[in-house]
Amino acid sequence: MKIFLTGGRGFIGKSFIKEAIKKKFFIYSISRKNKNKKTKQVQYIKGDLGDNWFSILKKSDVVVHLAASGVQGDDRNIEDIFNTNIIKSYKMIHNAINNGCKKFVIATTSSEYGKNSLNLKKITKHDARIPVSNYGLSKAIFTDLIKNLSKNKNCKFRMMRLFPIHGKGESSHRLFPSLKKAAKAGKNFTVKTPSELRDFTDVDYASKVLIDCCSFKKHSKKFEIFHVSSSKPLTVAEFAKKIWKKYNAKGKLLYKNRKKIYTKHVSNLSSNWNLKYEKK
């Protein structure tokens, strides 16, 4: 299988490439930062989402779209978030369709549900979305655009809603690496959102799911939505204690905003992608 991949230099993208290599897939990885480079199974190509990659798209079996702006929680650059996550992404999908691509795996986010998650014990893929961040809103808009596009195109689209991902290679300022660093250094750590409930999902598991859903069967629908989630909810405080114990931390965990109410990222098991889904 040949995969056209966006966001391959990102946290999840790097893990995805490792899993794809294990499966003997070939990856065309597009990135704004990476220089031209090629290995046995991966060809890294410098460029932008808005470019017309016709020569590569014609050779690709599946398009996997992971690139996004605002995923780190920085909502300040609204223009870049909407330009990347909607305008350039939609242009890329159209270019792919025009160059013969018919299979798409597109990463989106549990942040689409936003405020509505407060009303739900566990979120299903059919629940209403009330995003509270520009990132979540941009992804919700893009999901709807792809759903409408699928009605008029002979293509198959899978929207994979990622629940909070953590693991090796994550940006140093995020929760997991920050906890790990403090634990190993014997320092105290302040948990700022202790009561927030999340399905903490390991990046390697998420990558295996994304790889698995690249295989489309004849019975696959034109437009599908799945959750990518561990379905093992923990509060941020519980997750912090778990990491603290794992690394035998000597420092103390401190807590802020214990009574504050946060949106939840907890998936209903029935909405998750089953790794055996296409093998039934």
**pLDDT (tens digit per residue) in 1-49:** 999 999 998 899 999 999 999 999 999 999 877 555 667 899 998 888 8
* Cα–Cα nearest to 4, from 37, 43, 46: 43
CB-based burial label for 222 (10 Å; 0-12, 13-18, 19+): middle
The dihedral formed by the CA atoms of 273, 277, 278 and 280, expressed in degrees to the nearest 10? 180
Show the tokens assigned to 11. Answer: 């946290």
195 in a domain, yes or no?
A: no
Contact partners, residue 22, CB within 8 Å, separation at least 6: none
Please determine, for residue 279, whether its predicted confidence score (pLDDT) is greater than 60: no
User: Mean pLDDT, to the nearest integer, of 54-80?
Assistant: 87
What is the pTM for the complete model shown? Answer: 0.92
245 in a domain, yes or no?
A: no
162 in a domain, yes or no?
A: yes
244 in a domain, yes or no?
A: no
Greatest distance between any 2 Cα atoms in the chain:
59
162 versus 261: the higher-pLDDT residue is 162
Bridge partners for 45 per DSSP: 30
212 in a domain, yes or no?
A: yes
Q: What are phi and psi of 56, to 5 degrees?
A: -85, -40
11 in a domain, yes or no?
A: yes
261 in a domain, yes or no?
A: no
pLDDT at 167: 94
What mean pLDDT, rounded, does the chain reach? Answer: 92
Q: How many folded domains does the chain comprise?
A: 1
Domain span at residue 102 reads 2-166+201-229+267-279
* Cα–Cα nearest to 134, from 90, 69, 195: 69
- List of E strands, 72-202: 103-109, 156-162, 165-166, 189-191, 197-199, 201-202
52 versus 81: the higher-pLDDT residue is 81
Residue 275's CATH number: 3.40.50.720
241 in a domain, yes or no?
A: no
